[in-house]
Amino acid sequence: MTLLRSLAWLTVLLPTLVPVAGCARVCPTIAWANFVTVVLDGDTRNVSWVQLCTPDSCSRATESPAAQDVLPSATATPTGANGLGFAPGGGPTARRILVEKIVSDSWRFGFEMDSPGTVTVRALDSTGKTLAEQKTSLAWQQTGRTVGCGGPETASPVTLTVNA
């Protein structure tokens, strides 16, 4: 009789337990990149490379593959841009900033699952001299997502004017 009573209770409780277990939201283990485009305007003849910096790291400054993908920023803060980025050693974690030249006057920068609020963009000549520099705030728009889990974003393009 105990077995029958246990089965009866299981039959009563099972319909209430299954929906509870099915409500847990599990995000897929995928990553995405958020992108911003920098468009050069003005006298761009001497521009060889465009660099983008967040408060805690910079993209590489040349297209040489020997250059690091992530460089510490001269304006780094102890807490990183979002106040949460600490490495185990106590210093700020560096963002990995991807850079790609799209066309002669347009560059695309990517952040792995990150969307910084402010950046500094620089136009550099072949020797690394800064020809133009601008600090700007980024406004991000979500372009895709997994329900409840976030997804890629794109910021409005940044225009950097280079004077002669």
56 in a structural domain: yes
* CA nearest neighbour of 136 among 35, 41, 36: 36
Question: pLDDT of the chain along its 164 residues, tens only?
Answer: 555 555 444 454 444 444 444 555 677 667 888 999 999 999 999 999 999 999 989 999 887 755 444 444 444 333 333 333 333 333 345 678 999 999 989 999 999 888 999 999 999 999 999 999 999 999 999 887 766 777 899 999 999 999 97
Q: What is residue 117's predicted lDDT score, i.e. its pLDDT? A: 95
- Residue 81: domain span: 33-162
**Bridge partners for 162 per DSSP:** 42
In sequence order, what DSSP letters do the residues of 60-96 get, joined into one string? -SSS-TTS-S-EE-TT--TT-TTS--B-TTSSBPPP-
The first and second tokens of residue 42, run together, are: 């003005």
Q: Quote the pLDDT of residue 65.
A: 53
In a domain, 72, yes or no: yes
Q: Number of folded domains in the chain?
A: 1
In a domain? residue 87: yes
What local confidence, expressed as pLDDT, does residue 77 receive? Answer: 35
In this prediction, residue 24 carries a pLDDT of 58
In a domain, 57, yes or no: yes
**In this predicted structure, what is the pLDDT of residue 71?**
45
Long-range pairs for 24-29: beta carbons < 8 A, 24 or more residues apart: 25/148, 25/149, 27/146, 27/148, 27/149, 27/150, 28/146, 28/149
Residue 77 in domain: yes
144's tokens: 């895709």
Residue 14 within a domain? no
- Domain annotation covers residue 95: yes
In the prediction, which pLDDT does 73 show? 46
Q: Tokens 């521009």 appear where?
A: 47
Specify the pTM: 0.67
